[in-house]
């Protein structure tokens, strides 16, 4: 007899999680609570409710978390200019801590004994969901069906669905995209299918959010982004909420062929995997944020941020958003953003994001010193001689001791 009486399931309403719902009921003889999060993936959420109701679910949570997602997760991450392995903007990774948080909160609200998710045993998401859950509810029981059942092929999943009268549109399921896709306001990802061959170029029909750079307009689009403490608060003078900022940048960026990425990444579980991503708004945000920081951040603060960024990005990729070390780094990053205020003007053209203007009341650029014209004595160029000699001292000593480099 299972000691699990109630489980909160992260539920999309698709084939996999609908099967998981029934499998949990049959295997654990438990009640299932479904949780469906709207993070901006543009999926129809009400069909998920209808499917859950049709399967007899009594407690159904469908929540619009777009504002919380961008405000409390995406924006803090972009203050750090975080990218994983030099390219990936962490679109899937940053969504998982919020989902884990809500799974735990709903488990507490409904007095559930466990939580469950549909992540496979080969991927990163199982780690991200579960590390977050254990950090927030140490004694929680996590049920990961893909690590327990023998339904390890699509054929077996379809057979199970038919045998148990699970409400699936089988005609649609047979013609769905050949890719495993994940979408939220920050990005859409594609894995599997022909992408499993690292040599195969993604087909144009795969992309959902962006036109190809070749098909983008022949005239550039200009945007003026207003920053307060490192976050975009307005576009072209129009004040917007965080999720509205990202929605607008996605639309404009996608129309200009911005944000496509094709990489082979190192998963935390040990394997390499090829993925394709569309992150139009995030690509604009990264370029523009670095532009406003270039005039408002002290040199050593900027360089220290760059030194720490790969570690911060790796923590998010590997699922450690709720760790003390990520929170410690976040405190430092947020402190660095106090004077990251002002405006950035960017030009969008055929897949490129080009900062073309920056201004700030908190700028550290002193034109009277940096000018190539007469600076009226603001900077004594003779001072550079002593500066150079002092910095060359160790090099000169080593060379005098016979440590020649030629």
What do you get for the CA distance between the two ends of the chain, in Å? Answer: 77
Same domain, 162 and 45: yes
Same domain, 17 and 49: yes
Let me know if 96 is a catalytic residue: yes
Name residue, tokens 């992408």: 195
Q: At what angle do helices 96-110 and 125-136 cross, to 10 degrees?
A: 50
Q: Is residue 77 a contact partner of residue 70, using CB atoms and an 8 Å limit? A: no
Looking at the chain, the whole-number percentage of residues with pLDDT higher than 90 is 83
Greater confidence (332 vs 372) lies with: 332
Question: What distance in Å separates the CA atoms of residue 238 and residue 314, rounded to the nearest whole number?
Answer: 34
Question: What distance in Å separates the CA atoms of residue 196 and residue 224, rounded to the nearest whole number?
Answer: 39
CATH number at residue 112: 3.40.50.620
Same domain, 156 and 228: no
Place 1 in a pLDDT band, splitting at 50, 70 and 90: very low
Return the structure tokens found at 166.
Answer: 């699970």
Q: Is residue 151 a contact partner of residue 340, using CB atoms and an 8 Å limit? A: no
Q: What is the pLDDT of residue 406?
A: 86
Let me know if 16 is a catalytic residue: yes
Q: Which has the closest alpha carbon to 40: 304, 282, 364?
A: 282
Query: How many CB atoms neighbour CB 327 within 10 A?
Result: 12
CA dihedral 37, 40, 42, 46 (to 10 degrees): 30
Q: What is the pLDDT of residue 176?
A: 59
The beta-carbon contacts of 377-384 under 8 Å, at least 24 apart in sequence, are none
Same domain, 163 and 264: no
Query: How many CB atoms neighbour CB 258 within 10 A?
Result: 30
Q: What is the pLDDT of residue 44?
A: 67
Q: What is the pLDDT of residue 379?
A: 85
| Least confident span in 59-73, 177-191, 346-360 | 177-191
Let me know if 2 is a catalytic residue: no
Same domain, 38 and 160: yes
Same domain, 19 and 96: yes
Within-domain flag for 132:
yes
The three-state DSSP-derived secondary structure of the chain is: CCCCCEEEEECCCCHHHHHHHHHHHHHHCCEEEEEEEECCCCCCCHHHHHHHHHCCCCCEEEEECHHHHHHHHHHHHHHCCCCECCCECCCCHHHHHHHHHHHHHHHHHHCCCEEECCCCCCCCHHHHHHHHHHHHCCCCEEECHHHCCCCCCHHHHHHHHHHCCCCCCHHHHHCCCCCEEEECCCCEEEECHHHHCCCCCCCHHHCCCCCCHHHCCCCCEEEEEEEECCEEEEECCEECCHHHHHHHHHHHHHHCCCCEEEEEEECCCCCEEEEEEECHHHHHHHHHHHHHHHHHCCHHHHHHHHHHHHHHHHHHHHCCCCCHHHHHHHHHHHHHCCCCCEEEEEEEECCEEEEEEEECCCCCCCHHHHCCCCCCCCCCCCHHHHHHHHHHHHHHHHHHCCCCCC
Residues in the chain: 406
Within-domain flag for 152:
yes
Q: Is residue 229 a contact partner of residue 75, using CB atoms and an 8 Å limit? A: no
Q: What is the pLDDT of residue 87?
A: 97
Q: At what angle do helices 15-28 and 154-163 cross, to 10 degrees?
A: 60
Same domain, 62 and 102: yes
Place 169 in a pLDDT band, splitting at 50, 70 and 90: low
Q: pLDDT tens across 118-146, in order?
A: 999 999 999 999 999 999 999 999 999 99
Range of the domain at 166: 6-67+92-176
Question: What distance in Å separates the CA atoms of residue 389 and residue 396, rounded to the nearest whole number?
Answer: 9
Same domain, 55 and 141: yes
Within-domain flag for 399:
no
The catalytically annotated residue of 12, 49, 125, 260 is 125
Same domain, 44 and 153: yes
Question: What distance in Å separates the CA atoms of residue 187 and residue 181, rounded to the nearest whole number?
Answer: 10
Q: pLDDT tens across 81-102, in order?
A: 999 999 999 999 999 999 999 9
Same domain, 259 and 243: yes
Place 385 in a pLDDT band, splitting at 50, 70 and 90: very high
Final residue of a structural domain among 144, 176, 208: 176
Residue 256 has pLDDT above 50, yes or no: yes
Final residue of a structural domain among 176, 210, 226: 176
Q: What is the pLDDT of residue 209?
A: 96
For the chain, the average pLDDT equals 94
Within-domain flag for 322:
no
Q: Is residue 177 a contact partner of residue 267, using CB atoms and an 8 Å limit? A: no
Residue 58 has pLDDT above 60, yes or no: yes
Question: What distance in Å separates the CA atoms of residue 259 and residue 278, rounded to the nearest whole number?
Answer: 5
Residue 396 has pLDDT above 50, yes or no: yes
Within-domain flag for 403:
no
What is the pTM for the complete model shown? 0.94
Taking CA 98 as the corner, what is the angle to CA 95 and CA 99, rounded to the nearest 5 degrees?
85
Question: What distance in Å separates the CA atoms of residue 154 and residue 146, rounded to the nearest whole number?
Answer: 12
* Total domain count, the chain: 2
Q: pLDDT tens across 321-366, in order?
A: 999 999 999 999 999 999 999 999 999 999 999 999 999 999 999 9
**Average of pLDDT values for 7-15?**
93
The catalytically annotated residue of 43, 72, 180, 362 is 180
The catalytically annotated residue of 16, 113, 182, 231 is 16
Same domain, 139 and 225: no
Residue 397 has pLDDT above 80, yes or no: yes
Return the structure tokens found at 208.
Answer: 């959902």
Same domain, 44 and 109: yes
Q: Is residue 110 a contact partner of residue 33, using CB atoms and an 8 Å limit? A: yes
Within-domain flag for 122:
yes
Residue 398 has pLDDT above 70, yes or no: yes
Residue 115 has pLDDT above 60, yes or no: yes
Within-domain flag for 309:
no
Within-domain flag for 376:
no
Question: What distance in Å separates the CA atoms of residue 136 and residue 101, rounded to the nearest whole number?
Answer: 7
Q: Is the dihedral of CA 129, 131, 132, 135 positive or negative?
A: positive
Return the structure tokens found at 269.
Answer: 């579980």
Return the structure tokens found at 344.
Answer: 């950035």
CATH number at residue 277: 3.90.1260.10
The catalytically annotated residue of 66, 96, 102, 128 is 96
């Amino acid at each position: 007899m299972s000691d699990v009486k109630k489980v909160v399931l992260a539920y999309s309403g698709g084939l996999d999680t609908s099967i998981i719902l029934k499998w949990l009921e049959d295997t654990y003889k438990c009640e299932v609570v479904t949780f469906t999060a709207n993070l901006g993936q543009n999926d129809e959420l009400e069909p998920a409710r209808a499917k859950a109701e049709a399967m007899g679910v009594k407690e159904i949570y469908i929540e619009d978390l777009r504002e919380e997602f961008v405000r409390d997760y995406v924006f803090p991450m972009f203050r750090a200019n975080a990218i994983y392995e030099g390219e990936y903007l962490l679109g899937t990774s940053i969504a998982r801590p919020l989902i884990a948080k809500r799974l735990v909160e709903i488990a507490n609200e409904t007095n559930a004994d466990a939580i469950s998710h549909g992540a496979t045993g080969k991927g990163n998401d199982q780690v991200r969901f579960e590390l977050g859950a254990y950090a927030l509810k140490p004694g929680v029981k996590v049920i990961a069906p893909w690590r327990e059942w023998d339904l390890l092929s699509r054929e077996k999943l379809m057979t199970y669905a038919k045998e148990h009268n699970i409400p699936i549109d089988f005609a649609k399921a047979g013609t769905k995209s050949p890719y495993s896709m994940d979408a939220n306001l920050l990005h859409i990802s594609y894995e599997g299918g022909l992408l499993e061959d690292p040599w195969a170029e993604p087909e144009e029909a795969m992309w959902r959010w962006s036109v190809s750079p070749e098909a983008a307009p022949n005239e550039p689009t200009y945007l003026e982004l207003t920053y307060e403490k490192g976050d975009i608060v307005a576009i072209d003078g129009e004040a917007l909420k965080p999720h509205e900022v990202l929605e607008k940048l996605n639309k404009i960026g996608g129309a200009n062929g911005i944000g496509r990425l094709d990489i082979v990444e190192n998963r935390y579980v040990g394997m390499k995997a090829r993925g394709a991503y569309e992150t139009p708004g995030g690509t604009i945000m990264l370029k523009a944020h670095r532009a406003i920081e270039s005039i408002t951040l002290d040199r050593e603060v900027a360089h220290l941020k760059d030194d720490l960024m790969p570690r911060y990005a790796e923590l998010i990729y590997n699922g450690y958003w709720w760790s003390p070390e990520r929170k410690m780094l976040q405190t430092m990053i947020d402190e660095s953003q106090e004077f990251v205020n002002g405006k950035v003007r960017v030009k969008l053209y055929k897949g490129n994001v080009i900062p073309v203007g920056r201004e700030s009341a908190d700028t550290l650029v002193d034109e009277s010193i940096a000018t190539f014209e007469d600076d009226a004595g603001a900077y004594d160029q003779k001072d550079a001689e002593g500066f150079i000699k002092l910095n060359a001292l160790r090099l000169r000593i080593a060379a005098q001791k016979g440590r020649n480099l030629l």
